[in-house]
A and B are shown apart, each in its own frame.
Chain A
Amino acid sequence: MKRRAFGIGVLAFVLARAARGQFGDLDELMRLLAARRHGEVDFIEQHFLAVLKRPAESSGVMIYDAPNRLEKRTAEPRPEVLLLAGDVLTVQRGNRTRVLDLKAYPAIRPFIEGMRATLAGDRGALEQLFTVDYAGTLAHWRLTLVPRDTEVQKKIARVQIEGARSDLTRVEIFEKDGDRSLMTLRDRPIS
């Protein structure tokens, strides 16, 4: 009995150390990200859907302003502007503008919130919505976000965000039904 208790104690100690080490890096990453006030990147998004024979692709520019303004300007195949300011999502397509309360769209929320909280280096917000797993190094890191909300879990399996220091390079969403979407991000060439 005693031996076993000892074993568990050692295990707990090791795990705690590991966790501290890991989250020490996560905190460092969050600090790096939070220091960034503005970003502008090109994106290419691919949706791999069972219903489609080949992925649906779109591309455009993504603009971020700390702490909570995110704008996604799709240029191809159809112009569309998505603006997230606070909890209000404005979608502008053609000559129509729609204003959505993010809270009312739990299915869209993890992707957008996950991305925004990551960009803002807001660990609290991130962990409120997801269980967060950090892997890699600051030079090349990967966050795996699993939704906490059971309703969201029915749709979204996980969100995986990769990056290098304060740059995001890849955002991948895995849906429960096997569909997935992949967004690759690249710093805009200085023009």
Chain B
Amino acid sequence: MMSRRARIVGTWLALVVLAAAIAARARYVTDLSAFLPASPTPMQRLLIDQLRVGPASRLILVSLEGADLKTRAEVSVAMAHRLRDDREFASINNGEAVTADRDRAFVFEHRYALSEAVTPQRFTPQGLKAALEATIEGLASPEGLLLKSLVPDDPTGETLQVIDQLARTPAPQSREGVWSSADGARSLLVAETAASGSDTDAQERAQAAIQAAFAGTAAQRVRLRMSGPGVFAVASRASIQRAVVRLSIASSVLVVLILLAVYRSLAALVLGLLPVATGALMGVAAVALVFGAVHGITLGFGITLIGESVDYSVYFFIQSLTGDAEPWQRRLWPTMRLGMLTSVVGFASLLPSGFPGLSQLGAYSISGLIAAAAVTRLVLPELLPRGFAIRDLAPMGARIGRLLEPLRRQDAAIRWGGALVIAAAALAVIAAARGNLWNRELSSLSPISEEAQRYDATLRGDLGAPNVLDLVVVSGADLESVLRETERAAGALEPLIDEHVIGGFDDPATYVPSLATQSARRSSLPEPGVLRANLAQATAGLALDSAQLTPFLRDVEAARDAAPITPGDLRGTSLAAGFNALILHQADRWNALMPLHAANPAAPDIDAARVRSALAASGAGAAQLLDMKHESDALYDGYLHEALRLSLAGLAAIAALLWLALRSLARTARVLAPLILAVFAVTAGLVLFHVQLTILHLVGMLLIVAVGSNYALFFERHTARGGTAPLTLASLAVANICTVIGFGLLSFSGVPVLEALGTTVAPGTLLALLFAALLTPRGSTPADG
């Protein structure tokens, strides 16, 4: 029969191997999904898909700065030439007239189906005459040189009309033959990747290809900069990976050094790290099993586990090896177990969060803490070598005790009075900042710097691309009905341009009109005999000779029987990209996007109410205005409130658990008071440093309570009247140092969510320990005195 030790160690090893196998096979993601909602409304789903995998996500905006326009144009042309051969890219656009011939051919061939001017009235003698007069006037302008050859085929100028329709949305300006910002400071190139924006590996390859193409031009004094969803995804992945790796190494090294300094024993160090390592592994495995994929950011959060699970082994070593007659299992384990349970309850409140980052953090921490505590309780005692010893820490504890002594000697009334003063001052600071306390913007969590976001907006402005903040979305069961509704919505939006409510809008029906519209235009074209007669009447007295216009008669006749334009006809033209960016096909749903351009780029806000009422008045029922920034901030606001509710529920659960274990309201209050005081003080500190609180600060506060409750419980249970045992003080101090280091390092991660957590928890747990030392010990409340 197996010994108890073999059974326990064997089971542990088997579980570790299993967890390692799961962790090794897990999928790790580092895109921005942790910052996006998991269960959005259909409208939000659409937006998120559009951002993650939609056509817009494939666009890499490339800007060239420095040197002079001519040099940059040469660089742009050389890069585009090289990138057009690269299979990573679906298209490269820099304003060169590469697709212009095909575009022109498409527009010319389909001019009668595309032109909005094609109505029955247009082909009456009067209509024709007006159109021909305009054409003759056009011939006298410098563009006349370009129009001249079109006149025999297209005397009514439908080709020009279509070109104007397509140019209605601002196109990027061209300098030296390539796209440029209006001020000429930047030359621009837009690369559309073959892979979707959520394929971060492919995005990274595409960006490397752009870098290589740029390097290949050996341009002097020209700077390359890229922007766009894919660029952000790659950058944030890199920054999260960098942060996770750097933090893991740094905090491991620091904690190892501290433990070595404390234990002065290599065996104790190795044993002491076992609960941490096991916990981290179990945490990853649990998240992989529950969520299917582990977010990189979760690993970053996971470092925080080191803090708490190192505590367990610290308590174990320091307090079990004192030669006390009473085994530690009976003396200390119940306190540890209760501390662990309060932490688990605290983290459990994160599980139901709709914010994937938070629920993963909850699952990771719960499984990690339980595993670490179990290893400490069951495995470590079995592995202790004979004659195991660590340095006597009683003198260290005594020194800490002496440091605290002057404060602790004070009357309970004074100490609690001081606590009340601190609480009141903190609350006053918080109350003063009330209106401004929370950051309610989703972008506050983004790992993309504000500067990068601004630069992206600038490039979009240069390119005449809408800022994607305001969209009219039209949904329907098939493309035709969506296009019809789009045309109706366009009719409603048109007057708003003249009223300066909007500057313009993109419309997929410009590229491919609905079949209904196309057929109406076709039937506007008169039959050959009628057209010939009308034309003869119209040209009487005009400089234009109807004898020259036979090609026109022929083309109109052909257009009457032409097959309608379908999206497939756009292939090979630059118009395909324009159309595809505005049409999303998902399963059984078609969505048309009509991004609105601001009337004044300097004041990009659009009067949403006027747009909504115009849409409603037109009866374009399927068209809805979507204010994306408003939606995403509303979404975040929802999560903030949810997190607030969950945190309060977590706090209540911790209080209930403590009350259940301590069976005394007064004792529960003594344990909780220093923790809540620490939360107040840290919040006030953040406010004083002008930090706006985010969802992660809130989670940090929950962690202060969860971790701090361990300290308070030890003080509460293991302090005799007259003073805390030096060993308890020493173990708590070491545990706290490890925690502060773990979280403190997060403050320097460069990833906003991790920084928020770090700057809250590191000072918070330190204060929690201090306040607990002063307030919690039995006999410390005025009532006990």
Q: A56-B543, A108-B146, A179-B148 are in contact. Are A49 and B139 (CB under 8 A)?
A: yes
Q: Which of A8-16, A23-31, A73-81, A127-135 contacts B (4 or more CB under 8 A)?
A: A73-81
- The residues of A that contact B174 with a CB separation of less than 8 Å are 100-101, 103-104
Considering the complex, give the chain B residue whose CB is closest to the CB of A156.
B145
Interface residues of A in 102-123 (CB under 8 A from B): 103-105, 107-108, 111-112
Give the distance in Å from the alpha carbon of A1 to the alpha carbon of B755 in the complex: 92
Chain B interface category by residue count: 20 to 34
Contact A103 B177 (CB under 8 A): yes
Q: Are A87 and B145 in contact (CB-based, < 8 A)?
A: no
Against A, the Cβ 8 Å flags (1 = close, 0 = not) of B172-189 are 011111001000000000
CB-defined contacts of B142 to chain A, threshold 8 Å? 82, 91, 108, 111-112
The smallest beta-carbon distance between A159 and chain B, in angstroms, is 12
Q: Are B176 and A103 in touch, CB under 8 angstroms? A: yes
Say how far A98's CB is from chain B's closest CB, in angstroms: 8
Q: Mark B21-63, 1 if CB is under 8 A from A, else 0.
A: 0000000000000000000000000000000000000000000
| Of A53, A58, A107, the contact of B140 (CB 8 Å cutoff) | A58
**Chain B 119-160 per-residue mask, 1 if CB under 8 angstroms from chain A, else 0:** 000000000000000001101111111101001100000000
Q: Check A87 against B175 for contact (C-beta < 8 Å).
A: yes
A139 at the interface (CB under 8 A from B): no
Task: Find the B residue at minimum CB distance from A88.
Answer: B175
Q: Is the CB of A101 within 8 A of B140?
A: no
A104 to B142, CA, bound (A): 14
Q: Which residue of chain A is the closest to B180 with respect to CB atoms?
A: A101
Most buried by A among B142, B167, B548: B142
B392 at the interface (CB under 8 A from A): no
C-alpha spacing A106/B544, complex, angstroms? 27
Q: Are B544 and A51 in contact (CB under 8 A)?
A: yes
Instruction: Determine the chain B residues whose CB is within 8 A of the CB of A55 once the complex forms.
Output: 543
Which chain B residues lie closer than 8 Å to A101 at the CB level?
173-177, 180
Contact B139 A52 (CB under 8 A): yes
Residue B411 CB within 8 A of the other chain:
no
Tell me, yes or no, whether B545 is within 8 Å of chain A by CB. yes
The interface bits of chain A over 31-57 (1 if a CB of B lies within 8 angstroms of the residue's CB, else 0) are 000000000000001010101111111
Give how many A residues have a beta carbon under 8 Å from the other chain's beta carbons: 35
Q: Are B543 and A53 in touch, CB under 8 angstroms?
A: yes
A108 adjacent to B173 (CB under 8 Å): no
Is A52 a contact of B136 with CB atoms below 8 Å? Answer: yes
B545 touches A53 (CB 8 A): yes
Closest to A47 in B: B140
- In Å, the complex CA distance between A137 and B383 comes to 111
Report the nearest A residue to B176, measured CB to CB. Answer: A103
Check B145–A107 contact: CB distance below 8 A.
yes
A-contact bits for B548-573, CB 8 A (1 contact / 0 none): 10000000000000000000000000
- 8 A Cβ contacts from B172-209 to A: 173-177, 180
B97 proximal to A (CB < 8 A): yes
Choose among A47, A53, A96, A112 the residue that contacts B139 (Cβ–Cβ < 8 A).
A47
In Å, the complex CA distance between A53 and B143 comes to 20
Contact B543 A54 (CB under 8 A): yes
Q: Mark B84-110, 1 if CB is under 8 A from A, else 0.
A: 000000000001010000000000000
Verify if A99 is at the interface (C-beta below 8 Å from B).
yes
Q: Does A155 contact B (CB under 8 A)?
A: yes
Interface residues of B (CB under 8 A from A): 95, 97, 136-137, 139-146, 148, 151-152, 164, 167, 173-177, 180, 543-545, 548
| 27 sampled A-B residue pairs with Cβ under 8 A | A47-B139, A47-B144, A49-B144, A49-B148, A51-B139, A51-B148, A51-B545, A51-B548, A52-B139, A52-B543, A52-B545, A56-B139, A56-B543, A57-B140, A74-B140, A74-B141, A77-B137, A80-B141, A87-B175, A100-B174, A103-B174, A103-B176, A104-B174, A107-B145, A107-B146, A108-B142, A108-B146
The 5 closest A-B pairs by CB, nearest first: A101-B174, A56-B140, A58-B140, A103-B177, A52-B543
